């Protein structure tokens, strides 16, 4: 959904999710290949032509060079602080503060990528927006398969499995009591995939409208400031819903999730918290190693 809005900046979302929410020691390998992976992912959405491709690849290389030197040390420091806190009980307020910290870092990733996207925007063609729309339709079908199963029991079962998998990624194997806690929490959650899907489609529609307006020709097409302002407004929309029912829903869901995560964490044993601490330490070390490395030179052939 967000690939077209910020080009390189969207990769920051993937990285934070990988590093700060889940992942493994393969972080080093994955990060060093991230520019290449990002290129293939973005090209899948936009179908760049031969003239555009080198510019997009260079923008990605520049974004990752910035991210490696400025953002990874900050992520490592965050993970170091998390290692202390994960051994202690948690409150919903603490969990929400962590969520706020992550949002700040995602916003920085967006902010650095949007000007790069503004430089590339004038080269987009109408057929590429049509390709993007088709790609949205495919991703929406995938979303429906993952989150909108026809039977309520199937939908709940899938949600419980996702939550258990994410928890075990950090804490290791959960016991039956904790699995039941998760199952009950999923049932009680205000999370509504239909509401999320509706918002997702609305943002996709606004993305297509904005890109169509900014690439339709005339003064706006050549006006960098207008392009930048348009993409900044779109990036803000992607990151935060406009005031109304969906934002109210998001707030309710956030408050519930903070309380639920704190409850789950407080159910963990000292051994499980030590597993979490060790994983966080490993990720921290990976990030510090990556931050100290220089990105390997990349050629067009490599991408």
| CA-to-CA separations, 58 to 25, 90, 115, 116, 132, in angstroms, rounded | 27, 43, 14, 10, 21
37-90 pLDDT, tens digit each: 889 989 999 999 999 999 999 999 999 999 999 999 999 999 999 999 999 999
Residue 107 lies in a domain: yes
Residue 302 belongs to some domain of the structure? no
Cα 189 to Cα 33: distance, rounded to the nearest angstrom: 37
Q: Which structural domain range is residue 8 located in?
A: 3-292
Query: pTM above 0.75?
Result: yes
Compute how many other C-beta atoms are within 10 angstroms of the C-beta atom of residue 205.
Answer: 12
Contact 105, 16 (CB under 8 A): yes
285 inside domain: yes
Q: Per the domain annotation, does 297 fall within a domain?
A: no
Domain count, the chain: 1
CB 120 within 8 A of CB 90: no
The tens digit of pLDDT for each residue in 15-36 reads 333 333 333 445 677 788 888 9
Residue 185 and residue 163: Cα distance in Å, rounded?
A: 10
299 in any annotated domain: no
* 61 domain-assigned: yes
């Amino acid at each position: 959904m967000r690939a077209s809005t910020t080009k390189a900046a969207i990769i920051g979302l993937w990285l934070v999710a990988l590093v700060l929410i889940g992942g493994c020691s393969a972080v080093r390998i994955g990060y060093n290949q991230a520019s290449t992976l990002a290129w293939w992912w973005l090209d899948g959405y936009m179908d760049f032509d031969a003239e555009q491709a080198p510019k997009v690849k260079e923008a990605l290389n520049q974004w990752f060079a910035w991210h490696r030197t400025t953002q990874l040390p900050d992520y490592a420091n965050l993970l170091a602080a998390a290692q202390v806190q994960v051994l202690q009980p948690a409150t919903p307020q603490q969990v929400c503060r962590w969520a706020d910290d992550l949002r700040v870092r995602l916003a920085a990733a967006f902010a650095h990528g949007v000007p790069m996207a503004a430089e590339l925007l004038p080269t987009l063609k109408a057929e590429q927006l049509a390709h993007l729309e088709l790609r949205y339709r495919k991703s929406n079908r995938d979303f429906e398969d993952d989150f909108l199963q026809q039977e309520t029991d199937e939908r709940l079962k899938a949600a419980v499995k996702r939550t258990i998998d994410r928890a075990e990624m950090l804490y290791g194997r959960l016991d039956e009591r904790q699995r039941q806690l998760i199952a009950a929490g999923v049932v009680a959650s205000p999370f509504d995939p239909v509401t999320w899907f509706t918002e997702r489609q609305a943002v996709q529609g606004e993305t297509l409208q904005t890109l169509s307006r900014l690439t339709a020709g005339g003064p706006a097409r050549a006006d960098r400031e207008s392009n930048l302002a348009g993409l900044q407004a779109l990036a803000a929309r992607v990151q935060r819903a406009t005031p109304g029912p969906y934002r109210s829903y998001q707030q309710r869901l956030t408050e519930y999730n903070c309380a639920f995560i704190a409850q789950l964490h407080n159910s963990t044993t000292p051994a499980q918290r030590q597993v979490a601490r060790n994983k966080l330490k490993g990720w921290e070390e990976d990030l510090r190693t990556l931050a100290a490395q220089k990105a390997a030179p990349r050629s067009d052939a490599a991408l």
